[in-house]
Amino acid sequence: MERGIGSSGAFAWFFQRISGIFLLLALLAHFWVLHYSNDGEVTFQIVAQRLSHPLWKTIDLAFLFLAIFHGFNGFIMVIHDYVRWKNVRLVLVSLVWVAGILLGLLGMITIITFQVPGGGL
Amino acid sequence: MKKTYRIFRFDSAKPKQKHYDTFKVETAKGETVLDVLIEIKAHHDGSLVFRRSCRHGICGSCAMQINGLNMLACETQVEMLKDNTITVDPLPGFKPIRDLAVDMDPFYEKLHSILPFLINPDSPPTDKERLQSEEDHRKIELATSCILCGGCTSSCPSFWADKDYLGPAALLKAYRYVFDTRDVGLNERLPMLDNKHGLWRCHTIMNCNDACPKHIFPTEDISHLKRKVVEEKY
């Protein structure tokens, strides 16, 4: 039975809730911005211009990292709940970490480097 | 009132031969499932094994699964159960030993691990108890009425999945001491609580609330404990 030293879960539990609240608010804001601002007009040009703005890039980066944390931390919780073999658990948790980091990097590159095709703001 | 009772039978020496035995038993108004089990043992099959002690809902010995729900057999009157066939199983999640008796050792080990006693290095006032205000006591009053029957821990899906999980009973006991204003032992208990098999395996499923024969709400107290640990650490 591994107990005690260094194997907490307090931060994961706490931040899961913080990220959950952020995601709930961010999703509502996202829904409103996408479907109700600009009289509900959704075109590639409008979305692309928004995504080119540094403030929106910052918001989207926060959205990206918190969504990845929330989802992949959920995977890790399920693994800790149900996988009893220590080595299998280690492999699965490592895979979740690798997948989370790769997705985070991919999303980060996409958001940071995105520019409106054929012109700036 | 005559009903049929399906009783789980098991012998750890012959684990493959687990089965149900059926008995028809006549009961009078007010008689409990425990009365039925005593009747079966006395007049139908003397080899039936189950635990019981006080017969008044205080010792917690006769916790078992009756028609799929964890209950105390001594508190469950037959007339409360609407079905004509009543199925009695041992508490789920624990290792069965014989018939309705399960191995409670891991349950008590976990209970002991959270240091279930008052921790306070200061000596109490001479010739006095450590007094506590009524308001302070109210915070832990319900938690102090736990009879350690194991019904809550045995009903918890997190415990079914992770046998090393402390479980609601041990966490409730931890709450009882951590939130006792006379106790200063949180840091000593922290390594056991703040652990992969501790507090964070509770996902507020709330089966423990339904299972508790003393109407305690372990889920609520465990949530208080989670917040306390987070406040303590960050």
pLDDT higher than 60, residue B127:
yes
Q: Does residue B129 share a domain with residue B97? A: no
pLDDT band at residue A40 under the 50/70/90 scheme: confident
Residues of chain B with C-beta less than 8 angstroms from the C-beta of A77 = 200, 203
pLDDT of residue B195: 87
> Which residues form the domain of B110?
105-233
Q: What is the CATH number of the domain that holds B35?
A: 3.10.20.30
Q: Name the pLDDT band for B6 (thresholds 50, 70, 90).
A: very high
CB contact under 8 A, A9 and B229: no
Distance from CA of A25 to the nearest CA of B (A): 22
Where a domain ends, among B102, B136, B170?
Answer: B102
Quick check: A1 pLDDT over 70? no
A76-92 pLDDT, tens per residue? 999 998 898 889 999 99
Using the predicted structure, report yes or no on whether residue B218 has a pLDDT greater than 60.
yes
Residue A42 has pLDDT above 70, yes or no: yes
Q: Do B200 and A13 touch (CB under 8 A)?
A: yes
Q: Please say if the pLDDT value at position A5 is more than 50.
A: no
The interface predicted TM-score of the complex, written ipTM, equals: 0.78
For B59-115, how does the pLDDT look when each residue is reduced to its tens digit (9 = 90+)? 999 999 999 999 999 999 999 999 999 999 999 999 999 999 999 999 999 999 999
Chain B residues touching residue A9 (CB < 8 angstroms):
194-196, 198-200
Closest residue in A to B188 (Cα) is: A4
User: Are B116 and B89 in the same domain?
Assistant: no
Mean pLDDT, range B4-30, rounded to an integer:
95
**Residue B38's pLDDT band (cuts 50, 70, 90):** very high
Whether B213 has a pLDDT exceeding 60, the answer reads yes
Last residue of a domain, one of B79, B102, B125: B102
For residue A7, list chain B residues with Cβ-Cβ distance below 8 A. 195-196
User: Residues of chain A with pLDDT > 70: what percent?
Assistant: 91
Asked whether the beta carbons of residue A9 and residue B195 sit closer than 8 angstroms, the reply is yes
Tell me the shortest Cα–Cα distance from A82 to chain B, in angstroms.
6
- Together in a domain, B92 and B34: yes
Same domain flag for B150 and B36: no
| Closest residue to A81, CB basis, from B198, B201, B226 | B201
Residues of A with CB under 8 A from a CB of B: 1-5, 7-14, 77, 80-82, 84
Higher pLDDT: A45 or B106? It is B106
Tell me: do B97 and B57 sit in the same domain: yes
pLDDT over 80 (residue A119): no
Distance from CA of A6 to the nearest CA of B (A): 8
Which pLDDT value is given to residue A8? 77
Task: Assign A117 to helix, strand or coil.
Answer: coil
Report the alpha-carbon distance of residue B167 to residue B195 in Å, rounded: 12
B178 and B118 in one domain?
yes
Residues B94, B146, single domain; the answer is no
Q: What's the gap in Å between the CA of B205 and the closest CA on chain A?
A: 13
Please list every residue in chain B whose beta carbon sits closer than 8 Å to the beta carbon of residue A5.
Answer: 191
Q: Identify whether residues B58 and B153 lie together within a single domain.
A: no
CATH classification of the domain holding B149:
1.10.1060.10
Q: Is the pLDDT of residue B44 over 80?
A: yes
Confidence of residue A7 (pLDDT cuts 50, 70, 90): low
Partners of A84 on chain B (C-beta within 8 Å) are 162-163
Model confidence pLDDT, tens digit, residues B169-188:
999 999 999 999 999 999 99
Please determine, for residue B222, whether its predicted confidence score (pLDDT) is greater than 90. yes
Same domain, B37 and B149: no
Mean pLDDT of B2-25: 96
Looking at the 3D structure of chain B, how many domains does it have?
Answer: 2
B162 in contact with A, Cβ within 8 Å: yes
Q: Do B226 and B122 lie in a common domain? A: yes
User: Is A10's CB within 8 Å of B230's CB?
Assistant: yes
Please tell me whether residues B89 and B129 are part of one structural domain: no
CA gap B121, B188 in Å, rounded: 12
> Which of A7, A12, A77 lies at the smallest CB-CB distance from B195?
A7
**Is B94 in the same domain as B143?**
no
Report the pLDDT value the prediction gives residue A6, as an integer from 0 to 100: 43
Q: What integer best gives the mean pLDDT of chain B?
A: 95
What domains appear along chain A, each with residue ranges and CATH number? Answer: 12-113 (1.20.1300.10)
Q: What is the pLDDT of residue A69?
A: 96
Q: Does B204 touch chain A (CB under 8 A)?
A: no
In the predicted model, is pLDDT for residue B125 greater than 90? no
| Domain final residue, candidates B56, B80, B102 | B102
